[in-house]
A and B are shown apart, each in its own frame.
Chain A
Amino acid sequence: MRCILDGRIIVITSGKGGVGKTTATASIGAALALEGRRVAVVDMDIGLRNLDVVMGLENRIVFNVVDAVKGKCKLKQAAIKDRRIENLYLIPASQSDNKNVLAPEEMERFGEILRKEFDYILMDCPAGIERGFENSVASADEAVVICAPEVSSVRDADRVIGLLYAKSITPKLVINRIIPEMVERGDMLNHIDVVDVLSIELIGLVPMDDQVIVATNTGTPLVLQRKSKAGEAFRRIALRLNGMTDLPIEVPQAEGHFWRKVGAKLGLGK
């Protein structure tokens, strides 16, 4: 049985690629660390690593998650300490192997080691539902499903949610890349539609944000950029995961329209 003082392992997954898993992992991880928790983010996308560049730590990789799991190095050697954010560590993926070098049983054992060292362990799951997914989920207690408000992403999210339930994990939902102007026009599924289709608990709504690309360009944490709406949304998700369950979920709004502001003041807004 797990000790209560042990860390929580949360897998960040989506099924479909390109919906923002890596950005979400980096941002939620950074925000949890800013709350004073010891956090490890683990890049499980073996062979296609990217969490390192998103976090700006690509130049400091010596060992990786495969080395750590196989016992070729100590956990402390594979975990790269972020110099800007206290208590944040990255365990990078290996770039030369493929997903089959690891097995779910090995990951379960590795998870037990991680739990002893960190309060939160975020597993950045690769796209797909094959071995990479199995490995990422093997040791997880919880799951966050990232979904964009479009047909293909919602369908894949539904599939992944089914697979998580089969492993006795009740996932929570983040809707990412919301374009409020399109939602308003009726050309993008709104969060109520998506939650209605997927019927799982929502823990955050993240707007499309140019700052995500800017932050990735420079390898700086999104949550440290004051102007970033997505960064702020991810920070609030981290707070909810960290126990602030009554923090309201803000619906992204289109900005700068005079009549809309007047309408909102008069209580005409939705």
Chain B
Amino acid sequence: MFNDFLKKMMGTGSSKTDSKDVAKKRLKFALIYDKLEVSDDTLRCLHRDIIDVISRYFEIDQEAFKMDIRRSDDLSALIVNTPILSAKRHVSSQGQR
């Protein structure tokens, strides 16, 4: 509008970031974080299922199995770390879908 036009002509307003843009950015991050919040129950189920699946193909050390969700500003990762004791020789194709 005319006011914006004037502001631009006089060079004011360009240095200042609009507070609503800050709001929008913070909101987007907050919503991503909110959705990544996983309940302990879900984590326990995921833990069990991953062990089940890997165990079909490998002998693993279940005690040393580690699972973690790591978050940083722009991405989150599910990190699974498990020692493999040995590969299973005869993987049945029934296990696969």
Contacts and interface: CB of A to CB of B under 8 A. Distances in A.
B30 interface: yes
A154 B27 contact: yes
A188 interface: yes
Given A159-B34, A187-B19, A188-B20, A263 B26 contact: no
A262 B28 contact: no
A240 interface: no
A262 B2 contact: yes
Nearest to A154: B27
B76 to A, nearest CB: 18
Contacts of B5: 263, 268
B1 A155 contact: no
A189 interface: yes
Contacts of B26: 151
A85 to B, nearest CB: 38
A193 B27 CA distance: 10
Contacts of A154: 27
B9 interface: no
Nearest to B17: A186
A193 B19 CA distance: 13
Contacts of B23: 150-151, 189, 193
B19 to A, nearest CB: 5
Interface in B10-66: 18-21, 23-24, 26-28, 30-31, 34-35
Given A151-B26, A155-B31, A197-B27, A259 B2 contact: yes
Chain B contact patch, size range = 10 to 19
A5 B2 CA distance: 52
**A-side interface mostly:** helix
B3 interface: yes
Contact of A184 (B1, B28, B30): B1
Contacts of A185: 18
Interface in A2-25: none
Given A260-B1, A260-B3, A186 B24 contact: no
A193 B21 CA distance: 9
Given A151-B26, A193-B24, 6 more contacts: A151-B27, A183-B20, A186-B18, A186-B19, A196-B24, A197-B24
Interface of B: 1-3, 5, 18-21, 23-24, 26-28, 30-31, 34-35
26 contacts: A150-B23, A151-B26, A151-B27, A151-B30, A155-B27, A158-B34, A159-B34, A162-B35, A183-B20, A184-B1, A186-B18, A186-B19, A187-B18, A188-B20, A189-B20, A189-B24, A190-B20, A197-B28, A257-B3, A259-B1, A259-B2, A260-B2, A263-B2, A263-B5, A268-B1, A269-B1
